[in-house]
Structure 1
């Protein structure tokens, strides 16, 4: 172990860069769909050694060395974890293939500045003792929190997700949330690095043993928290999730209007599964139509014919406001609409947190793109507009719904609407852009963790999968696989009382970070950075 640490810490030039990029890339294996927890150790342990080896003649040079190591580590992590984004550029390859390198390499290059900041901040707090483990956990968690909030936020594959997939380990999110899991993931994952120090064996083994005990404690808490028996379902509700598995290139062509509607209607009208109970609510995925449903009376009539008396359809659909005076077209919204058995739209939820460059482009860039003869991904003039606020979606026969569209579900706490607590998380999405890659698995795992944090069941309907019903403990009650076509009939699990994390918000995270910071400062008896 000591030899490995010395090689990592003392490496220079391209060897140091290779260690940083490779250890970052290995960390992606700890994320879904792989969930290889040992990869967390193989990624964060060398990362700590790289900061150890960032000592230079001056403080500035030391910080530059740590920052560069962090950037290279982050670049490896994000390329290996987000390479599947390139699939979106090949859906309409004739128009977007040129941009594939910018998505596969450019976005990771930008995101890598967050761990670069984390490594530099850790270096400022560094010591030669075990306190540097706390400094690393504090700094890297701060950088992950910033990544999830700055510039609209992108908390995809946050390090805490390494602990947020296992049914037992994920239960700790009910206490500390995603970013609390991130603190724990760094403390646990980097703990073996301290085995390589020159201190007495008792001190060297203290951190790894405590990390193993913490991991066991989390697993034990999870096993204790989860009930053995399934929860009794919500009375009077029978869900049907329709997963059409439409390829993205065919989906948004208005000429396919009738074929798409036939497919939806045929799948949705299938005979009831298992219990023989007819569905009370049918759910269709995000942006289900290549047309404006609320302005298509013929299709609304088809839906009315499908729905039995008292049955409701909840579907993703683009909608447009009436144009204001002087405007040619109104504003477009990515929405969820509720339709009754008469074909009447009863209500809508408009998406609040849009995907940059996927659903909208900043005005100055949109002008530049059009001047170059190019266009954005969304076939809508000007892209979508964000809704001004979050509201509960009212669906007759269902408890109050916290509606989320696509990647809104990856933002902890943000999707909760104003007012009384909802009793259900609904997530409609379209992951067809990314094919059979790790992307849809990562998306589902992150949405699933929201159930544990909030103590709410999750109903998720995806065009190509993964569609599922998840109980408030994160247990998958029923699901349809990625790339499958069909319907899923399931009961709705009930909500449970708000977990500790849902009640106190960021209090626990703040406390954990303060404890790490104080521990790091307490061990700075010997200054590593030159003055």
Structure 2
């Protein structure tokens, strides 16, 4: 068999056949890499793709990243048996995902510096170990795509199928961690994010892969239609998504009559100042911010919101502090605050602690509460199999609660009753990053009392002035679009915001400032959204379509 001429690449058009396709010298170098050079470029391209995530939002970075990944797969999968394609695809995908997540999640290291004397040793585990492990999901996705790989437009569908499914698994397995899912590359633009109302974050992920990987065919497909068609289709898809979003936005959403919110952002650091012995000063700080005068001509707040874990003590067991908080409320006002909550144990059990939201009236009575369901592993608790072993070594979770927090009930606690507000879909901290998990089990609340807003209280002080708080806000914002509900987000150090059900930020605070925010509550979308009713059904259909496309493209 003769060697292909200079400037041409080997392309399998049929078993045992070769087609000569003109390609650039740059592509020949990429597809010809092997061993550690191939994995090194995969890592670098994945890291470059992280620039598509908040706060940068550079969508072309993901185009370059996925195009390089496709060309690396071309070099690895050409004329090889299925198991070899699976293995090499897995290695490329793992290296790509490792780079992508390392560059996108480096800011997690900031949390290990808050109590550096106790947690600095574990910093490499968070900054390197977590991306290293989560990269296995991308490895599985690329490996699955490798089984269907054949140079042509069908391999783009194969990549969308494999990596799209892997992203869904990353968001669900082992408690799930869907941070910076690839669909967020589209979900930062107000027009493009509107598609989430129908197909959700994971549907946007499939679209993002199809759109951003399509240019790879410009250099590797022999016939003009196959070479230029995918990129043209990707451009049309992007334009159609934008036009749909522009049409869907329409005029500003109406507001709920008789509701005026005040979000308090105390900017309390995660250091020695936030200790039980400073409880009086902390409570005074919250009350003083809550009582600041309103702007001229504006109504008084009807509801005060304080962030996650507002107190370094159990306010439910401190009558004096509870009375002081109640005395700071004006007649008719209600406080919704994050707070640790304790529950009396059953005989023979330890005291159970919950990361909770409490509703406190001007009479000092706690009328309702929500306990966080989706806890942060190693942050709020130690996973069961590791708990005893790690505690025997003197280790603990980040939040210093004896034995760690307990998870709340999963079925019934999502909806919080706050006098004067529509039913509240409550979330604490990173619970707001999980698509389809905002409402109670069963996807919908009773028709007689559908939720009127998503409340997210959080404490991002752990991560300082890094991309972390900005990424958190962007992901929580998308839940408003998916569910057709306004989002009220109160963060200790920011960014606090009120977001309407179309994802428009109607008011927000800066990061790392002590401040407050007065705002109206936007109304929910009557009738909800397709995603709110059917969840990831459209995403499943999209995966099936990608499978058909990959198989069809391979046969052709």
Contact 2:152 2:226 in 1 (8 A): no
2:253–2:522: 8 Å Cα contact kept in structure 1?
A: yes
DSSP-derived class of the 2:262 partner: strand
Equivalent in the alignment of 2:275 = 253
* 1:134 counterpart SS class: helix
Give the TM-score normalised by structure 1.
0.96
CA displacement 1:139-193 (0-9 Å, x = unmatched): 1100000000000100000000000110010011111110000000000000000
Kindly provide the CA deviation profile for residues 416-447 of structure 1, in whole angstroms up to 9, marking residues without a partner as x: 12532311000000011100100111110000
Aligned equivalent of 2:316, options 285, 294, 297: 294
Corresponding residue to 1:467 among 496, 500, 503: 496
Cα deviations across residues 109-165 of structure 1 (Å, max 9, x unaligned)? 000000000010000111222111111111110000000000010000000000011
| Alpha-carbon offset, residue 65 of structure 1 | 1.4
Query: How large is the Cα RMSD of the aligned pairs?
Result: 1.3
Deviation at 1:335, TM superposition (A): 0.4
Distance 1:253 1:67 in 2: 47
Shift of 1:374: 2.5
> How far off its partner does 1:57 sit?
4.9
Deviation for aligned residue 1:198: 4.1
Aligned counterparts of 2:26 and 2:376: Cα–Cα separation in 1: 42
Q: Which residue of 2 aligns with 1:529?
A: none
2:361 matched residue in structure 1: 340
The match for 1:515 among 528, 540, 545 is 545
Distance 1:251 1:7 in 2: 56
Q: What is the rounded CA distance, in whole Å, between the counterparts of 1:455 and 1:17 in structure 2?
A: 42
Q: Which has the higher contact order (CA 8 A, sep 6+)?
A: 1
- Indicate how the Cα distance of structure 1 residues 178 and 518 shifts in structure 2: closer, same or farther if over 3 A, else same: same
| Deviation of 1:252 (Å) | 3.9
**Structure 1 CA distance, aligned partners of 2:344 and 2:126?**
35
Q: Which residue of 2 aligns with 1:403?
A: 426
**1:90-489 correspondence runs (5 A):** 90-228=113-251, 230-250=252-272, 252-273=274-295, 275-327=297-349, 329-389=350-410, 390-417=413-440, 419-420=445-446, 421-489=450-518
Unmatched 5+ stretches in structure 2: 1-22
SS across alignment from 1:249 = coil
Normalised to the residue count of structure 2, the TM-score between the two structures is 0.92
| Structure 1: 5+ residue stretches without partners | 527-531
Which deviates further from its counterpart, 70-79 or 42-51? Answer: 42-51
C-alpha spacing 1:243/1:16, structure 2 compared with 1 (3 Å): same
Distance in structure 2 (CA, Å) of the matches to 1:224 and 1:21? 39
* Corresponding position of 1:8: 30
Partner of 2:5: none
Q: Distance in 2 between matches of 1:331 and 1:373?
A: 20
Residue deviations 1:209-234, cap 9 Å, x none?
Answer: 11011111111111111023x22210
Q: How far does residue 274 in structure 1 lie from its aligned partner after superposition?
A: 5.3
Any conservation in 2 of the 1:194–1:205 contact (CA below 8 Å)?
Answer: yes
Count of aligned pairs between the two proteins? 524
In the alignment, the residues of structure 1 paired with residue 414 and residue 185 of structure 2 have an alpha-carbon distance, to the nearest angstrom, of 31
